[in-house]
């Protein structure tokens, strides 16, 4: 499986939403990246992208993606070229489709709340105040172990 850049996967989600007639925000794409990485860890047993995920106050964040989209604030992200959907190949494409079908219709704040209940985020944040800055990495091996246990049934 090819390893992608997180921004390629973010662009894929934004393009996929646009192809469905929807727009998504930076907050939402960050949560979709988190779930996509977790599902690839479990289903494909490989990293989806090389960048790390950090436990920020509003949930998991890939800092490199945050840097690219930070100027958008809470506004919808710009739609990338249509060929952004072609960058991702099988079997990753199938995993991303499943992630999109599972989480794509949920509001960003719902996804944020969901990630706040996940052990990797809780452990990375430790005893920090809810709005405190945090750049602690959520290890991908921990994501895999957590989601394997969560969906073992």
pLDDT tens digits, 6-55: 999 999 999 999 998 999 999 999 999 999 999 999 999 999 999 999 99
Per-residue H/E/C for 87-122: CCCCCHHHHHHHHHHHHCCCCHHHHHHHHHCCHHHH
Which pLDDT band, with edges at 50, 70 and 90, does 77 fall under?
A: very high
- How many separate domains does the chain show? 1
Asked, for residue 120, whether it belongs to a domain, the answer is: yes
Range of the domain at 23: 6-150
What percent of the chain stands above pLDDT 70?
Answer: 98
3-state SS class at 49: strand
Asked, for residue 107, whether it belongs to a domain, the answer is: yes
Asked, for residue 127, whether it belongs to a domain, the answer is: yes
3-state SS class at 51: coil
- Say if residues 99 and 35 touch (Cβ distance below 8 Å): yes
Q: Is the peptide bond before 91 cis (omega within 30 degrees of 0)?
A: yes
Asked, for residue 136, whether it belongs to a domain, the answer is: yes
State residue 151's pLDDT score. 81
Q: How far is the C-alpha of 116 from the C-alpha of 38, rounded, in Å?
A: 15
Asked, for residue 1, whether it belongs to a domain, the answer is: no
- From the list 48, 42, 38, 28, the residue with the least C-alpha distance to 105 is 28
- Say if residues 125 and 134 touch (Cβ distance below 8 Å): yes
- Say if residues 28 and 60 touch (Cβ distance below 8 Å): no
**Displacement of CA 152 from its chain's centroid (Å):** 21
Asked, for residue 141, whether it belongs to a domain, the answer is: yes
What's this model's pTM, rounded to 2 decimal places?
A: 0.96
State residue 46's pLDDT score. 95
């Amino acid at each position: 499986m090819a390893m992608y850049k997180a921004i390629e996967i973010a662009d894929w989600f934004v393009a996929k939403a646009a192809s469905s007639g929807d727009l998504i925000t930076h907050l939402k794409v960050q949560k979709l990246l988190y779930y996509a990485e977790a599902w690839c860890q479990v289903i494909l047993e490989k990293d989806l992208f090389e960048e790390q995920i950090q436990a920020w106050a509003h949930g998991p964040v890939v800092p490199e993606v945050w840097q690219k989209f930070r100027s958008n604030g809470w506004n919808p992200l710009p739609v990338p070229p249509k060929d952004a959907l072609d960058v991702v190949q099988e079997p990753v494409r199938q995993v991303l489709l499943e992630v999109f079908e599972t989480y794509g219709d949920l509001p960003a704040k719902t996804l944020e709340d969901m990630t706040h209940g996940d052990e990797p985020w809780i452990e990375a944040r430790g005893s920090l105040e809810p709005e405190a800055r945090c750049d602690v990495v959520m290890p991908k091996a921990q994501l895999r172990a957590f989601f394997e246990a969560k969906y073992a049934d």
